[in-house]
Amino acid sequence: MDNQPNNFESLFEKAGDYLETRVELWKLKATQKSSDIVSTIASKLISICLLMLFVMLVNIGIALLLGEWLGKPYYGFLALAGFYLIAGLIFSAFKNKWVKDPVTHAIIKKIYS
């Protein structure tokens, strides 16, 4: 009978160790997921910033070229602004389909993969 309390103590000790191991494993998995998500976001933000800088400089060049063709430099900027107004209206109409839904699905897929 003296052996039985020892067995229960051993069982509770092993259960406690198992629980601690599971909690530690969950923490490690959560850390890995969050670091993967943050690093992906950071790399995409850097890429987007560089792409925006490129697009901005190309747009200035196109606006100056259009302005030269149209006779006044500011005409090129106005023409380009009109183009972006139309593009913005089209994008606004389809933003959920083109951006919101794909980004939401990508984040969910990243979290649960």
**26-38: pLDDT as tens digits:** 999 989 988 988 9
For residues 68 and 61, what is the distance between their CA atoms, to the nearest angstrom?
Answer: 11
Q: What is the pTM of this model?
A: 0.63
Cβ count near 83 (within 10 Å) = 14
Task: Encode pLDDT of 54-94 as tens digits.
Answer: 999 999 999 999 999 999 999 999 999 999 999 999 999 99
For residues 52 and 45, what is the distance between their CA atoms, to the nearest angstrom?
Answer: 10
pLDDT of residue 28: 92
